[in-house]
Structure 1
Amino acid sequence: MASLNPLTSNLDQRKAKHLLRRATFNFSKNQLNSFIGLTPESAVNSLFTPTTNTLAEPYDPLPADAPDGFWTSATALPNSFDNQPRKRAIVTGWWWYNAMNETSLKHKLSFFLHTCFTVAKDDGAGAATYYYDYLRLLDFYAFGSIKTLAKKMTLDNAMLEYLDNTRNNKNNPNENYAREFLELFTILEGEQIGAGNYTNYTEIDIQQAAKVLSGYKKQEDRSIIDAETGLPTGYINEELHDTDNKTFSAAFGGATITGRETPTDILDELSDFVDMVFSQEETAKAYCRKLYRYFVKSNWDEEVETDIITPLAQELISNDYNIEPIVKTLLCSQHFYDADDTDSSDEIIGSIIKNPMQHLSEMCAMFNVTYPDPNTDALNFYNTFFYRFIHNAYFSYAGMGFFSPEEVAGYPAYYQEPLYDRNWFSSNTIIGRYRLVESFIAGENTISNGDTYALLDTVKFVEDNIVNASDPVLLVTEIADLLYPEAIDEDRTNYFKSFLVEEGFPDYYWTGTWNNYLSSNDNVTVKIRLDALITAMVNAAEFQLM
C-alpha cells in the first residue's frame, strides 16, 4: 500500500542519492557523504534551512568600455537598457549560479513554482529587470504559501505584461490572465462536461474573474514596493476596475464577490477571489499532483491517488497552502523511497529523466567543473560561459528554453501526457546532452563551436574522489555508484572497464598505468583513457535518470 508514513531507517547511499538528486541541483560526493546515515527527517529539515544568495544581483559586463553593471538596481527605466535578450539570459545565469552554490530545496521549489506560474522570459515578459523581480518573487515564496504567491503574482510586473492583464480594463476586458489563472495556474479544467463548461469552472467564471482582475497595471519604473516581500510590484488603477459584484457559477457554489472601488479594497476583492479558488479541494489536488510529478514520478495509479495525493491535498488545505510541510511529508515518506511495497515494476528511484538543467548542474557539481567566478571574472562567466555556451548552445540543443518554455502551460515534461519527462530525451535533444560532457572535457564548445571557459579534469576527479582508482573494476564501480541511481551489473561494469583496459588484456595493465602516473605525474595516458570512460559513463542511459 502506498504510504505517507515516515521512513524511520537512516539513509544509505542509494536513498541519499535519491533525495539529493530530487531535492537539489548541487549534488556532489561530499554532500552525498554528509547525508548518508542521517534520518530522512534530519536530511530534509537541513534542506529547508534558510539561505542567502551567493550573488546578490546579476551583473552585465558589457559594453566593455562602459558596462551596464548592476543594471537591475539602477534608477533608469528597465527598458532603457540595450540588449534585453542577453540581459534576460544573464538574469537566469545569476539564478543558476546561486542554485549551484546552495544545497537547499529553495531553488528546486522556486523552479517548481515557475512551472506552476509560468512566465516565459523571452516571450512577452518585458525587460530583464522585471524578470529578475519575478525570479526573486518565486524564491521568496519557495518555502511559503502558494495561495499568497497567487495573489502576489497577479501584481508582478512580468506577469502583468506576459499575460496582458496590464491591458485588462472594465470597458475593454482582456481574459488572458484570468483564463490561465484557472486553467493552468490553480484549479485546472477537469473534465469537459459541455460547451464552455468544465468540471472545475466555466466560461462564465473566466469572464467574472477577468472583471475581478481588471484595472491592474504594470509599474514601469518599479517605484512601488510591496511591504511583505520588499519587491517591486504593479498597481491598481481604480478608474479602470470593474466595481460591480461578480457572481460565479455552480462550480464555485454560485459565490458572489462584492465589487470594490478603492485600491486597498480592490486588493481585498482579489483576496476573496483567490480564497474562493483555493477553497476548492481540486485546487489542492492539482498542486499535489504537480508536486508528485515533479519530485516522485510522472505516472501513478488509483492507489497513489487515494493514499498519497488526496491526504497531501488535505494537508495542504489545512496548512493554508504552505508548501513546506507538504514537501517534508512527501520527501520523508516511505513511498518517496519506494519502501512501501515490494513491487519491482513501479520503481520510483531512477524513474525520472533529468531535465537539461539537472543534467548540467549534476555534472558541474559532481565533477567539480571549473568555470569563471562571476565575482572576479564577470565577462567570461556571464557572457562567454553562460550566455554563449550554456544558454545559447547547450540549453538550445538540449530542448530547454531556460526559463522560457514555448507554451504558457510550461514545459511539456510537467503536463503533457503520456510522455511527460520522456519529452526531455529525443533524437532532437540528444546532441546537447551528449556533447556537453565532451565540451567540458575538451574545454571548447563542441555543440555549436566556440569557447566554453569551463573544464572537466577527469584525472583530478578520479584522484580526488575514487578510493580504489588503481583497480579498473572498483574504479568503474565507484564512479557508477556516484553517477547512477542504481548499481550496475557485471556486464555493464565490463563494458565500461573496456575504456581502461583493452579486451584480452589483464586488469593490471590499468593498475600499472595508474601507478606510473602517480609516481611520474605524467597524465597523458591516463587522461586519454579516463576522458573516454567518463564520456561513456555520462552519456550512458543510466546517467540520464534520477
Structure 2
Amino acid sequence: MASLNPLNGNLDLRKAKHLLRRATFNFSKNQLESFTGTTALNAVNTLFTPTTNALPEPYDPLPTDAPDGFWTSAPELPNTFDDQRRKRAVITGWWWHNAMSETSLKHKLSFFLHTCFTVAKDDGAGAATYYYDYLRLLEFYAFGSIKSLAKKIPLDNAMLEYLDNTRNNKNNPNENFAREFLELFTILEGEQLGAGNYTNYTETDIQQAAKVLSGYKIQEDRSIIDAETGLPTGYINEDLHDTDNKTFSAAFGNATITGRNSPPEIIDELSDFVDMVFSQEETAKAYCRKLYRYFVKSNWDDEVETDIITPLAQQLISNDYNLEPVVKTLLCSQHFYDADDTDAADEIIGSIIKNPLQHLSEMCAMFNVSYPNPTTDALNFYNDFFFRFIHNTYFLFAGMGFFNPEEVAGYPAYYQEPLYDRNWFSSNTLIGRYRLIESFIAGENTISNGDIHAIIDTVKFVEDNIANASDPVLLVTEIADLLYPEAIDEDRTNYFKSFLVEDGFPDYYWTGTWNNYLSSNDNVTVKIRLDALITAMVNAAEFQLM
C-alpha cells in the first residue's frame, strides 16, 4: 500500500543520494556524506533552511569598454539597454550560479514554480530586467504559498507581456492569460464535456476571468514596488477594467465575483477570483500531481492517486496552499524512498531521466568543475562560459531551452504523456549530453568550438574523493556509488574497469600505474585512463537517471 507515513530510521547511502538528487542541483560527495546517517526529516529540514543568494544581482560585462554592469538596478528604462536576448541569458546564468552555491530546495522549488507559471524568456516576455523580477518572484514564493503567488503573477511585468494581458481591456478583451491561468497554471481542464467546455471550467469561465483581469498594465520603469514581496510590479488602469459583476459556471458553483472600480478594490476582486479557483479540490490535486511528477515519478496508478495524491491535496488546502509542509510530507515519506512495498516493478529510485539542467549541475558539483568566478571574472563566466557554451550550445543540443520552453504548457517532460521525462533523452539530444563531459575534460567546446574556460581534473577528483584508488575494482565501484542511483553489478564493473586495465591483464597493472603517479607526480598515463573512465561512466545509461 502506498504510504505517506514517515520513513523510519536513518538515510543510508542509497536513500541519501535519492533525496539530494531530487531536491537540489548541488550534489557532491561532501553533501552526500553529511546526509548519510541522518533522518529524512532532519535532512529535509536542512534543505528548507532559508538561504541568501551568493550573487545579489546579475552583471553584464559587455560592452568591454563600458560594461552595462548591474543594469537591472540602473535608473534607465529596462528596454533602453542593448542585447536584450543575451541579457536574459545572463540572468539565467546568475540564477544557475546561485543554485550551484547552496544545498537547498529553494532553487529546485523555484524551477518547479516556473513549470507551473511558465514564462518563456525569449518569446515575448519583454525586457530582460522583467525576467529578472519574474525569477525573483518565483524564489520569493519557493517556500511559500502557491496561491499567494497566483495572486501576484497576474501583475508580473514579464507575465503581462508574455501572455498579452497588458492588452486586455474592458472594450477589447484578450483572453489569452485568463485561458492559460485556468487551463495550464491552476485547475487544468479535466474531462472534456463539449466544444470548449471541460469538467473543471467552461468557455464562459474564461470570458469572465478575462473580465476580472482586464485593465492590468506593465509598469515600464519598475517604479511600483509590491509591499509584500518588495519586487517591481505592474499596475491597474481602472478606466480599462470591467467593473461589472462576473458570474461563473456551475463548475465553480455559479459563483459571482463583485466588480470593483478602484485599483485597491480591483486587487481584492483578483483575490476573490483566485480564492474561488483554489477552493476547488481539483486545483489542489493538479498541483500535487505536478509535485509528484517533478519529485517522484512520471506515471502512477490508482493506488498512488488515492493514497498519495488525494491526502497531499487535502494537506495543501488545509495549509492555504503553502508548499513547505506538503513537500516535507512527500520527501520524508516511505513512498518517496520506495519503502512502502516490495514490488520490484514500481521502483522510484532511479526512475526519472535527468533534465539537462540536472545533468549539467550534478556534473559540475560532483567533479568540482573549475569554471570562472562571476564576481572576479565576469566576462569569462557570463559571456564565454555560460552564454556561449552552456546556454547557446549545451542546452540547445541537449534539447532544453533554458527558462525558454517552446510551449506555454512548459517542458513536455512535465505534462506530455506518455513519454514525460523520456522526452529529455533521444537521438536528437545525445550530442549535448555525451559531449558535455568531453568538453569539461578537454577544457574546450567539443560540441561546436571555442574555449569554455572550464575544466575537470579527473586525477584530482579521484585523488580527493576515492579512498581505494589503487584498486581498479574498488575505484570503479566507489565512483559508481557517487554517480549512480543504484549499485552496479560485476559485469558493469568489469566493463568500466577495462578503461583502466586492458582485457587479459591483471589488476596490479593499474595499481602500479597509480602508485607510480603518487611517487613521481607524473600524471600523464593515469590522466589518459581516468579521462576515458569518467567519460564512459558519465555517458553510461546509469548516469542519465536519478
Question: What are the Cα deviations for residues 30-89 of structure 1, in whole angstroms up to 9, with x where unaligned?
Answer: 000000000000000000000000000000000000000000000100000000010000
2:420 is equivalent to residue 423 of structure 1:
no
- Residue equivalent to 1:115: 115
- Partner amino acid, structure 2, of 1:141: Y
Q: What CA RMSD, in Å, does the superposition of the two structures yield over aligned residues?
A: 0.3
Runs of 4+ in 1 over 6 A off after TM superposition: none
2:494 is equivalent to residue 508 of structure 1:
no
Mapping of residues 145-544 of structure 1, within 5 Å: 145-544=145-544
Question: What are the Cα deviations for residues 289-341 of structure 1, in whole angstroms up to 9, with x where unaligned?
Answer: 00000000000000000000000000000000000000000000000000000
Question: What are the Cα deviations for residues 431-480 of structure 1, in whole angstroms up to 9, with x where unaligned?
Answer: 00000000000000001111111000000000000000000000000000
Give 1:500 deviation, angstroms: 0.1
- Partner amino acid, structure 1, of 2:169: N
Give 1:194 deviation, angstroms: 1.1
Distance 2:517 2:344 in 1: 43
- Partner amino acid, structure 2, of 1:269: E
- Partner amino acid, structure 2, of 1:243: T
3-state SS, counterpart of residue 344 of structure 2: coil
Distance 2:165 2:239 in 1: 15
- Residue equivalent to 1:102: 102
Distance 1:368 1:196 in 2: 52
- Partner amino acid, structure 1, of 2:306: T
- Partner amino acid, structure 2, of 1:358: Q
Distance 1:447 1:81 in 2: 31
TM-score normalised by length of structure 2: 1.00
- Partner amino acid, structure 1, of 2:252: F
Distance 1:166 1:419 in 2: 35
Give 1:539 deviation, angstroms: 0.0
Distance 2:85 2:518 in 1: 48
Question: What are the Cα deviations for residues 104-157 of structure 1, in whole angstroms up to 9, with x where unaligned?
Answer: 000000000000000000000001000000000000000000000001001000
2:59 is equivalent to residue 47 of structure 1:
no
Distance 1:503 1:278 in 2: 63
Distance 1:360 1:196 in 2: 41
Distance 1:93 1:374 in 2: 9
Give 1:197 deviation, angstroms: 1.0
Distance 1:78 1:506 in 2: 65
Give 1:183 deviation, angstroms: 0.1
Distance 1:337 1:275 in 2: 34
* Structure 2: runs of 5 or more not aligned: none
- Residue equivalent to 1:74: 74
Distance 1:30 1:392 in 2: 31
- Residue equivalent to 1:93: 93
Distance 1:143 1:457 in 2: 36
Give 1:8 deviation, angstroms: 1.8
3-state SS, counterpart of residue 193 of structure 2: strand
* Structure 1: runs of 5 or more not aligned: none
Give 1:390 deviation, angstroms: 0.2
TM-score normalised by length of structure 1: 1.00
3-state SS, counterpart of residue 324 of structure 1: helix
Give 1:195 deviation, angstroms: 1.6
3-state SS, counterpart of residue 259 of structure 2: coil
Distance 1:341 1:294 in 2: 21
- Partner amino acid, structure 2, of 1:151: K
3-state SS, counterpart of residue 193 of structure 1: strand
Give 1:211 deviation, angstroms: 0.1
Give 1:255 deviation, angstroms: 0.3
Identical-pair percentage? 89
Distance 2:257 2:380 in 1: 53
Distance 1:137 1:197 in 2: 32
Give 1:9 deviation, angstroms: 1.1
Distance 1:359 1:482 in 2: 14
3-state SS, counterpart of residue 293 of structure 1: helix
Distance 1:316 1:232 in 2: 28
Distance 2:306 2:139 in 1: 31
Question: What are the Cα deviations for residues 390-448 of structure 1, in whole angstroms up to 9, with x where unaligned?
Answer: 00000000000000000000000000000000000000001000000000000000011
